[in-house]
Amino acid sequence: MITVDEALSLIAAKVGPLGSETIALADAAGRTLAEPLIARCDAPRQPLSAMDGYAVLERTTAAGKRLELIGESRAGRGFAGTVQPGQAVRIFTGARLPDGADYVVMQEYASRDGDHVTFTEGYGPAPHVRAVASDFAKGAELVPAGTRLGARAMVAAAAADVSEVCVARRPRVATFATGDELAPPGFAHLRPDAIPESVSFGVAAMVAQEGGTVVSRRTGADELDALIAAADAALDEADLVIVTGGASVGDRDFAKPMFAPHGLDLWFDKVAMKPGKPVWLGQARGTVVLGLPGNPTSAMVTGALFLRPILARLLGEAKAHPWRCLPLAAGLKATGTRETFTRARWDEDGLIPLDNQDSGAQAALLQADWLIRCPPDQAALAPGAMVTALRF
């Protein structure tokens, strides 16, 4: 068996980006940039007013001095003339600063009398002007490659005056749940020995959250010939195949044998961790194949630790897990010889380990929003101890 860190290092070494495509900016939310986003123009391109008020020439303006109003400047419809000493232009937030002006007096300090205006004491010292390129300059890299385009990044992309962006191709993912006992939700109660197949629903949700697209979902009984044929179809349609269950060493555990005729190259086949020891990873016919345990909690824990970085690598997002150092709000039991990932929930005082740590638990998954990383043979910890944790 290898360690969790060794498995993560293998993922970083073996899995790479899939390629790119150019799409309309309007369709790019949630996608990952394959190339840096470069500004096509300065922002702002012209000096703009940061306030509603009056544009003036500062050195010839003083409190109580009467200035002639010669026009108005609105956003998108600037004043065409030039401001001379003793003159002012009514201006609004976002409007172009007229030629000759270098200062905006806020309207709160203004007293208007027909075509003239005077200002009261205290209108300075800020000029309330947004200088050319004070936000960013033409040619600047606003968003680096590998960035997921969330709400704030989309604002920056649009501000860069680009209509199209080059993004990473979405990973196509096929999921496969194996096991004679599995039945589709809604039908398990019709067979006495059946259980609802639940893991693939969590896996599919995780794939969608991480930027992939599930192209097929299959459930297969433990019949090797049929599984080999199904593996063939999945490898043809996907960049990543995720198999759940069938990873132990029983006579009817076929998760790896079903890919053997397709040239399965195993990168690792067990990880020294709890839960999730049977997790495995390899490649067949150029497609990455990830085997997750069949127990729901084990599958979700190993998915959080390994599926997420695999999808990130396929998208060109070379990001590491954001481990945090957080306090315990309740005691933590001693661990065994394997690295243990204890499910916990967050309380205002810190992390509280869940009472139910069974690898097959499903209701407890609803409560677990953190994974506490415990090294092998760790002694019991008291409330207040600091632990390493990952948002689950």
pLDDT in tens, 193-235: 999 999 999 999 999 999 999 999 999 888 999 999 999 999 9
CATH number of 324-391: 2.40.340.10
Q: What percent of the chain has pLDDT over 90?
A: 92
Using 50, 70 and 90 to split pLDDT, how confident is the model at 248? low
- Residue 250: its pLDDT value, please? 58
Q: Sketch the domain layout of the chain as residue ranges.
A: 4-15+170-314, 20-41+142-167, 48-130, 324-391
The chain-wide mean pLDDT, for the chain, equals 95
- Residue 143: its pLDDT value, please? 94
- Residue 252: its pLDDT value, please? 66
- Residue 253: its pLDDT value, please? 78
Give the tens place of pLDDT for each residue, 41-90.
999 999 999 999 999 999 999 999 999 999 999 999 999 999 999 999 99
Give the tens place of pLDDT for each residue, 374-389.
999 999 999 999 999 9
- Spatial strand order of the sheet with 240-244 comes to 213-220, 172-178, 240-244, 287-292, 280-284, 265-268
- Residue 49: its pLDDT value, please? 98
Using 50, 70 and 90 to split pLDDT, how confident is the model at 348? very high
Per-residue pLDDT for 180 more than 90? no
- Which of these, 136, 130, 137, 85, lies nearest to 104 by C-alpha position? 130
Region 26-33 average pLDDT: 97
Classify domain 20-41+142-167 at the CATH topology level.
Molybdopterin biosynthesis moea protein, domain 2 (3.90.105)
Instruction: Examine domains 4-15+170-314 and 324-391 and report if their fold is the same.
Output: no
295, 360 Cβ separation under 8 angstroms? yes
Tell if the pTM clears 0.85, that is, is over it: yes
Amino acid at 86: G
- Residue 312: its pLDDT value, please? 97
- Residue 99: its pLDDT value, please? 98
Residue written as tokens 């315990």?
328
Higher pLDDT, 313 or 220: 313
Per-residue pLDDT for 124 more than 90? no
105, 63 Cβ separation under 8 angstroms? no
Fill in the DSSP letter of residue 303. Answer: I
214, 316 Cβ separation under 8 angstroms? no
Q: Which residues are bridge partners to 391 per DSSP?
A: 370
- Cis-peptide into 17, omega within 30 deg: no
Q: What percent of the chain has pLDDT over 70?
A: 98
CATH number of 4-15+170-314: 3.40.980.10
The CATH superfamily assigned to 48-130 is: Molybdopterin biosynthesis moea protein, domain 3. (2.170.190.11)
- Residue 318: its pLDDT value, please? 78
